[in-house]
Chain A
Amino acid sequence: MIEMKHVSFRYEAGKEILDDISFRLEAGESVGLIGANGAGKSTIMKLLSGILFGDGEVLIAKTAVNPKNLYEIRRKLGYVLQDSDDQMFMPTVYEDMIFAPRNYGLSKEETEERIDAVLEKLDLKELKHSRNHKISGGEKRMAAIATILAMDPEVILMDEPTASLDPYNRRLVINAINSLSQTKLITSHDLDMILDTCGRVILLDQGKIIADGKTEEILRDQKLLEAHRMELPLSFTRR
């Protein structure tokens, strides 16, 4: 469903941000992309969504990501940004939710049906006509996920979905992620959340893949994590 083949990226005259990255995600897989700051996680997300282009091949649902077919690629892909304020750019949750379906040519009726189903699924019906600046940070994050689900994407990219959320809202977001059947690639420093939501983890450091395997195995490997400026998840240190 998602594939990167020998992808490298550098900003002009800068140092290499990504160096020969290759991985593949099967349909329905939920994968965590972890690494210290500057490891290259966000760059991978930007390459997958066609915000940046590098060397090598990037495929989403067997379609190559290139400037010519961005419209098609982005129809299959939803990207939940780290900052929900940037994601929610319309005045109300409803207007934000209809934005993508209407851009992709869905009729008014189809759009209504779809957003009602998404709001029902995420238990957000009461937020439908709320003003974006009036809802809390947690609600905004859930609403941002809802705007992406309204696109009915095959692949969902999430950048720090639980950043700056309180425990209650963090749990709501984790439950929402677990309820999604799409292929998911999630970047986060919240390793406990990764443990709860992802069956597989890719560990990055300085633009290279250091480890790729089962979440439990990688996140229990204290030496490996510490060698790459990370720590064991809190749920492991407490045991």
Chain B
Amino acid sequence: MNKIDQALYEFREMDELADQDSLVHRFPVLPKVLLTILYILIVLSFHKYDLSSLSVMILFPVFFYQLSGIPLRKCFYKLRFVLPLVMAVGILNPFFDHTVIMKIGPLSVTGGWISMLTLMLKGILALTASFLLVATSGIARICAALRRMHVPSVLVTLLLLTYRYITVLSEEVSVMSNAYHLRAPRQKGIEYSAWGSFLGQLLLRSMDRAEEIYQAMLLRGFHGHFHYVDEKPASPKDWLTGLLIGALIVFCRYYNVASFLGSLFVR
């Protein structure tokens, strides 16, 4: 399997993850989307030096990944190209922020190091939460939930079609790449001299296929917005569960659970 096929396989695996069955999968998507947004906002709201309080927020993804049956390592593996970017966000902080926050023996820990770790953790937590939402809901159900939240139809359609066209583009790249390598068996990649025509052809082929798909949509009455699969609406019990989880997330933001736990062990 070449790299493109592998990427396509991994991309489609997200749909298969969403087809699994667990409490998290069965939980209605609308409250799930709202909880994910709340969780991300709360995570992002922590102060840059508040690493200890933020660390408690790790418990949420750990718990819900366990409950959903999706291994956390799968998330980290799939996000392996994005995570380094997230990690890089705060990498310069130690060079600019020399404020000493605490001392561990003779070692001074500066604000730069703490804020770097906080930023990294925030990014990782936001990504793992988003991944869990997609992996337990599927893009179509998320789009349906977004429409129910009155997110403009054009934005939701754009999201759904982007998701659809990623596979169209990847399939075209895969076909072209296979055709290239079958006639250039000793080359590892695609020669620089062929990049221009390769990309040009890719663009033309993708546009042709995109046009075909769009025509297929028009031929079946598409006039600007999708009708999504009707999902059973969230019951009062679902909303109550969502509310409790939301309350717990907010509680962890305003009550320092980490220092409470620490005080149980250290006087």
The smallest beta-carbon distance between B241 and chain A, in angstroms, is 26
Residues of B within 8 A of A71 (CB): 221, 223
- B188-211 contacts to A, CB under 8 A, are 209
Among A95, A99, A108, A131, which residue has its beta carbon within 8 angstroms of that of B220? A99
Interface string of B1-20 (1 = CB under 8 A from A): 00000000000100110010
- B62-81 contacts to A, CB under 8 A, are none
Bound CA span A103–B47, Å: 48
Q: Provide the main secondary structure of the chain B interface.
A: helix
Nearest residue, chain B, Cβ from A79: B219
Contacting pair A86 B12 (CB below 8 A): no
Q: Give the 9 A-B residue pairs with the shortest CB-CB distance, closest first.
A: A103-B221, A102-B227, A100-B220, A86-B212, A79-B219, A89-B213, A104-B221, A87-B216, A86-B213
Nearest residue, chain B, Cβ from A74: B219
Contacting pair B221 A100 (CB below 8 A): yes
Bound CA span A86–B216, Å: 7
Residues of A within 8 A of B215 (CB): 51
Among B209, B221, B226, which residue has its beta carbon within 8 angstroms of that of A75? B221
Bound CA span A78–B219, Å: 7
Nearest residue, chain A, Cβ from B12: A133
Residues of B within 8 A of A151 (CB): 220-221
B217 CB within 8 Å of chain A: yes
B229 CB within 8 Å of chain A: yes
Contacting pair A95 B229 (CB below 8 A): yes
- B145-172 contacts to A, CB under 8 A, are 164, 167, 171
Bound CA span A98–B215, Å: 17
Chain A interface residue number, banded: 20 to 34
Nearest residue, chain B, Cβ from A99: B220
Residues of B within 8 A of A75 (CB): 221
Residues of B within 8 A of A131 (CB): 12, 15-16, 19
Bound CA span A78–B216, Å: 10
B218 CB within 8 Å of chain A: yes
Residues of A within 8 A of B223 (CB): 71, 103
Bound CA span A74–B138, Å: 30
Among B140, B220, B227, which residue has its beta carbon within 8 angstroms of that of A91? B140
A145 CB within 8 Å of chain B: no
B251 CB within 8 Å of chain A: no
Nearest residue, chain B, Cβ from A147: B220
**Extra contacts besides A79-B216, A91-B15 (12): CB < 8 Å:** A51-B219, A71-B223, A74-B220, A89-B164, A89-B216, A94-B229, A95-B140, A98-B229, A99-B217, A99-B227, A103-B222, A131-B19
Residues of A within 8 A of B226 (CB): 99
Nearest residue, chain A, Cβ from B226: A99
Nearest residue, chain B, Cβ from A131: B15
Residues of B within 8 A of A29 (CB): none
Bound CA span A164–B138, Å: 31
User: 13 A–B contact pairs at CB < 8 A?
Assistant: A51-B219, A71-B221, A74-B218, A74-B219, A74-B220, A86-B216, A91-B138, A91-B140, A94-B229, A95-B229, A100-B221, A133-B15, A147-B220
A17 CB within 8 Å of chain B: no
Residues of B within 8 A of A160 (CB): none
A19 CB within 8 Å of chain B: no
The smallest beta-carbon distance between A115 and chain B, in angstroms, is 12
B87 CB within 8 Å of chain A: no
A49 CB within 8 Å of chain B: yes
Nearest residue, chain A, Cβ from B210: A86
The smallest beta-carbon distance between B231 and chain A, in angstroms, is 11
Residues of A within 8 A of B222 (CB): 99, 103
Residues of B within 8 A of A231 (CB): none
A139 CB within 8 Å of chain B: no
Nearest residue, chain A, Cβ from B167: A133
A83 CB within 8 Å of chain B: yes
A81 CB within 8 Å of chain B: yes
Residues of A within 8 A of B15 (CB): 91, 131, 133
The smallest beta-carbon distance between A155 and chain B, in angstroms, is 12
B139 CB within 8 Å of chain A: yes
A172 CB within 8 Å of chain B: no
The smallest beta-carbon distance between A11 and chain B, in angstroms, is 15
